[in-house]
Amino acid sequence: PTIRREDYRPPAFLVDEVDLHLALHPAATRVKARLDLRRNPAAEPATALELDGEALKLVSLRLDGAALPPERVRPRADGGLSIDGVPDRFVLESEVEISPEANSELSGLYLSGGNYFTQCEAEGFRRITFFPDRPDVMARYTTTIEADRAACPVLLSNGNPDGAGDLPDGRHWARWVDPHPKPSYLFAVVAGDLVAVRDSFTTRSGREVALAIWVRQGDEDACGHAMDSLKRSMAWDEETYGLEYDLDVFNIAAVSDFNMGAMENKGLNVFNTKYILARPETATDADYEGIETVVSHEYFHNWTGNRVTCRDWFQLSLKEGLTVFRDQHFTADQGSAAVKRLADVRRLRAAQFPEDAGPMAHPVRPDSYVEINNFYTATVYQKGAEVVRMMRALVGEAGFRKGMDLYIARHDNQAVTIEDFAQAMQDASGVDLTRFRRWYAQAGTPELRVRDSFDAATGRYTLTLSQSTPPTPGQPEKLPVPIPVRMGLIGADGAERPGAGVLLLEEAEQDFTFEGLEAKPVPSLLRGFSAPVKLSGLSLEQLGFLARHDTDPFVRWDSGQQYAVAEMLRLVEDFRAQRPLDLPEGLAASIAALLDRAMDDPAFTAEALTLPSEDFVSDQMPVADPEAVHAVRQFLRAAIGTRFAGRFAVLHAELADHGPYRIDGAAMGRRALRNACLSYLGQAEGGEGLRRAEAQFNTGGNMTDVLAALRVLADSDSPAREAALAGFHGRWKQHDLVLDKWFAIQAMSARADTLQQVKALVGHLDFDLRNPNRVRALIGAFAAGNPSQFHHASGEGYRFLADSVIALDAVNTQVAARMVGPLGQWKRQDARRGALMRAELARILERPGLSKGTFEKVSKSLAA
Ligand code: ARG
Ligand code: ZN
């Protein structure tokens, strides 16, 4: 059944208070709920109370103290209940039994390593108790947890602690009261044998907040970076938005079985261990960055998501787009804003642009869905953040802050819409955002084209910008959207000319003129990536010039990438025509220029040295050719590695870490550049890179360096390969998060036997289909991170993925549906591959009992 945005109706009944009592038991947990309900004056009168429920065993149901006669309780086909003849205001008491140990969905209440965790967003609360499980029902919760004291010494829930004590038979209890009304998706319980790393934070207005991160014993030493990130986030939200934390405690619990990254439950965030635990010897620099991102993201949800929440799930980007924008802004403020921006754009292009061009394309605010979990997407998150960023560009920094203040003042403790957010921004800033709202409604990536002309007689330079958005499923016609184009003009001497600013392209095509120029400048467009669009129309010469001279680091980097793409596409033609491949001199010259200034900003140099990914190059072709693109990229890496071997070797040696490991931007930048050099050396002729990789693998003092070396070895046929992989496994086999890296490195190897290896690894003792991190590390990394092997001409990669989806769908439907993605991109491939991919999709669809989430992804993939 398709849910449509236009069908939204306010809830017929509201819940003011929820009093929950959970008696925890692995196979038979008893949940008692006491709900204070009343008719919603704003809703159309309804005859029945609708309660959602899923996988619940009903034990008893009482209305105002009296047992409900069975004829007034109608079970719904989806597991919910309809209760007839209810008064205007009443108390409903229910008791249900659930089995956490049987819950492999990891939605609702489940067990992980003997401890209890919950995940309720989006619709998991209905797997705990009968409830109107929709975000516009906001209630105050009191939660009492009861469990065996030895097995579960720690009992946590939302809000502030409110008493604890002993019970007979070795059991104990604890009560939590959350004073803030919240939707059910923010409910959480954590119980088990965990230890706390504690700290505290004093808010601006003097509230002392007890902070705790709860982990398994032995992981206490790995929480420092997460705690530090949390405290910096709390301070930043006060400074930047005047937003303070609003409870006496802030708890974070880490769990190794988790469907997503983390969850912002009020006062009790639950995190995938991947985004909490880090030690230099077990976590890479990218892991450290991920922790800062996710810890801040979940913290920022306390205001953008929790205090002001979503009316319905179509509004998901109201909290996610805004909160991603806030976490990106936070991280940019912590250090190198420019390099952070490159990374964010790279991610948007890798995940969101293909989604916007594929069968699941949807607007930032979708119009319909079958399974809401399929809409926790790069479009809702990353493109949603870009839309907020553009809004900020339009209303200005001060206007944006006023808009945020008004949004929160107006809507605190409400469940609202994206429209409400835009309206607050408009009212506070005075800037008309009517047309801008199209960004929320239209799917597809706008294409921005540029032409320019110069009149030497008058000194007038004209930029002609035009836009169009390709059709997407269900949206054949598109309107122009307002595109803020931050720009500048560069003279032939490489110096900036007057005229820099923001052009606002609102129509399909517009001219922008600049007077008083002596000669035709080169336009630097989309500085800082001011809009999530695809830009075309610049010549190879202009791109090369910008890559060298622009003052804007984003345009410098991006022009270099676009330049490389153009050269790679030429080489792809050569490869297909079986002409010999040569290193293009222009590309070699730009590498040389980068290396001349390598140490100006090592982090930037590392980004700029890295060739565009195979997927990014394929995305620029009318029909992808994964084999040719792979061959060309590998050829270039080897040719560049060989040509500049001497300089890479010097940098690799000079940039070695001495002294204690540090995770500041400068130290990370040095390691990134050093390992970019090693990666090139690993491809170079002569084997010097492999010798260096072996040495670095054996002596590296941190996981960043060790893993970079292992990656080089894993791609090679060197005898050192097997030894390194075996040694790594032996050393880290007890450590889930490191073992995930071991799986992923093999899944992403460029070697021709990778699929065979991946299949063998599925049978490895350490592989576990029930652990989402492990599934993503092996199956996800292979299907989404190894295009040339996944698209192997035999179609074996497709068959493997389809088999995996089928197996997973019986265990964890959310994870299964997420794995479908790469098969959905069949339109991008040649006819033969496309047919093989479609055949695998069709085979999945034939499976009886397929989950609705997987069904939606597969059927939409086939239909588009
Ligand atoms: N709200 C979480 C976040 O911070 C994501 C949770 C999504 N979970 C799910 N099962 N769809 O982004
Ligand atoms: Zn979020």
* Rounded distance from Cα 319 to ligand 2 centre (Å): 7
Q: Which of 31, 85, 83 is nearest to 55 (CA)?
A: 31
pLDDT in tens, 130-142: 999 999 999 999 9
Catalytic status, residue 292: no
Per-residue pLDDT, averaged over 58-77, amounts to: 97
Task: State which ligand 1 atom lies nearest to the alpha carbon of 305.
Answer: 1
Best of 257, 323, 373, 376 for a ligand 1 pocket test (most atoms within 8 Å of beta carbon)? 376
In the chain, count of helices (H) and strands (E)? 29, 31
Residue type, 807: A
Residue type, 543: L
Max distance between CA atoms of the chain, in angstroms, equals: 95
pLDDT in tens, 837-855: 999 999 999 999 999 999 9
Task: State which ligand 1 atom lies nearest to the alpha carbon of 107.
Answer: 10
Q: Assess whether pLDDT exceeds 90 at residue 576.
A: yes
CB 175 within 8 A of CB 163: yes
- Residue 864: its pLDDT value, please? 82
Per DSSP, the three-state class of 254 is: strand
pLDDT in tens, 476-509: 999 999 999 999 999 999 999 999 999 999 999 9
Q: Closest ligand to 313 CA?
A: 1
Check if 264 has its Cβ closer than 6 Å to any atom of ligand 1: yes
CB 297 within 8 A of CB 271: no
* Rounded distance from Cα 376 to ligand 2 centre (Å): 9
Question: Whose Cα sits closest to atom 11 in ligand 1?
Answer: 373
* Rounded distance from Cα 260 to ligand 1 centre (Å): 6
* Rounded distance from Cα 228 to ligand 1 centre (Å): 23
pLDDT in tens, 501-542: 999 999 999 999 999 999 999 999 999 999 999 999 999 999
pLDDT band at 351 (very low <50, low <70, confident <90, very high): very high
Best of 119, 121, 258 for a ligand 1 pocket test (most atoms within 8 Å of beta carbon)? 121
Question: Whose Cα sits closest to atom 7 in ligand 1?
Answer: 121
Q: Closest ligand to 186 CA?
A: 1
pLDDT in tens, 777-790: 999 999 999 999 99
* Rounded distance from Cα 199 to ligand 1 centre (Å): 26
Question: Whose Cα sits closest to atom 8 in ligand 1?
Answer: 121
Question: Whose Cα sits closest to atom 5 in ligand 1?
Answer: 263
* Rounded distance from Cα 827 to ligand 1 centre (Å): 29
- Whether a cis peptide bond, with omega within 30° of 0, leads into 810 is no
* Whole-angstrom distance, CA of residue 439 vs CA of residue 446: 10
pLDDT in tens, 182-204: 999 999 999 999 999 999 999 99
Q: What is the mean pLDDT of the chain?
A: 98
| β-pair type (308-310, 414-416) | parallel
Taken in order 576, 577, 582, 585, the sign of the CA dihedral is negative
Check if 106 has its Cβ closer than 6 Å to any atom of ligand 1: no
Of 54, 105, 264, 298, the active-site residue reads: 298
pTM (2 d.p.): 0.99
Q: Closest ligand to 122 CA?
A: 1
* Whole-angstrom distance, CA of residue 455 vs CA of residue 192: 74
CB 418 within 8 A of CB 438: no
Q: Closest ligand to 318 CA?
A: 2
Check if 376 has its Cβ closer than 6 Å to any atom of ligand 1: yes
- Residue 335: its pLDDT value, please? 86
ipTM of the complex: 0.98
Check if 93 has its Cβ closer than 6 Å to any atom of ligand 1: no
Check if 121 has its Cβ closer than 6 Å to any atom of ligand 1: yes
